[in-house]
Amino acid sequence: MRIICLSDTHNQLQDIEIPDGDLLLHAGDLSMSFNGSKPHKLAEQIIELSRLPHKHKIFIAGNHDFEFQRNCPGMREFIESLKDPNLHYLEHDSIELEINSRKYKIFGSPWQPYFHNWAFNLPRGPKLAKKWAEIPEDTDIVLTHTPAKGYLDKVGNKHVGCQDLIDKLVQVKPTLHVSGHIHVGYGEKMDHGIHFVNAAIVGRDYKPFNDPIVVDLCEHCSGDHLQEHCAWGGPSLTEKEEEK
């Protein structure tokens, strides 16, 4: 199965060259909204997502996607009005898909550690831990806006991801964890039998800088059995800066 990972496209999805694949995952921040301003921009980006040819497309909200927190029922109605059976929005829930004759359970959640009162913020500690405790144990792929602490989450010398999230991921051992949010954390890492991806597309200036990350999984990939040859493409942020 070929998975296309991207995040943090910030109203610029139409400007990004997106490879074909079996499953497209967008880890939030489709829009660039502030306190729910310009909700039509978010709607426009969802339409752009719907136009993509991938057989399965799953996305979650990010901290800029206020309209999902303010009016989730209305946004779900809008998504349904597009009549795209291959487009799925997850908000702290799961979906099971059959791809290439194998079933995959995918969990997606927008929640993230509190920062400047953005959308889907919760304080670190018990409230976030309670959210992550709800990730099903049989999950194959986890999609969150926040990275896990210590994994593609470094800003300067500080790891700003979520500790409670990594604790739960190590317990569940999904094959793949895809996040975004921390633009400078773009890249991939393998640890604990988990393939970690930060697929943030924009750079520090909120302009497209990184490519979507392509992950190829074979039918035998699962947790501790993740095979090295089944991962992974895409240069690190450092390599891209050197190229530029």
Phi-psi region of 10 (alpha: psi -120 to 50; beta: other; left: phi over 0): left
Note the CATH architecture for domain 2-243: 4-Layer Sandwich (3.60)
Which sequence spans correspond to the domains of the chain?
2-243
Specify the DSSP element, H or E, that contains 129: helix 126-132
In this prediction the pTM is 0.90
The owner of tokens 């895809």 is 178
* Torsion angle defined by CA atoms of residues 6, 219, 152 and 130, in that order, rounded to the nearest 10 degrees: 90
What tens-digit pLDDT sequence spans the chain (244 residues)? Answer: 999 999 999 999 999 999 999 999 999 999 987 665 577 899 999 999 999 999 999 999 999 999 999 999 999 999 999 999 999 999 999 999 999 999 999 999 999 999 888 999 999 999 999 999 999 999 999 999 999 999 999 999 999 999 999 999 999 999 999 999 999 999 999 999 999 999 999 999 999 999 999 999 876 655 443 444 354 444 434 334 333 2
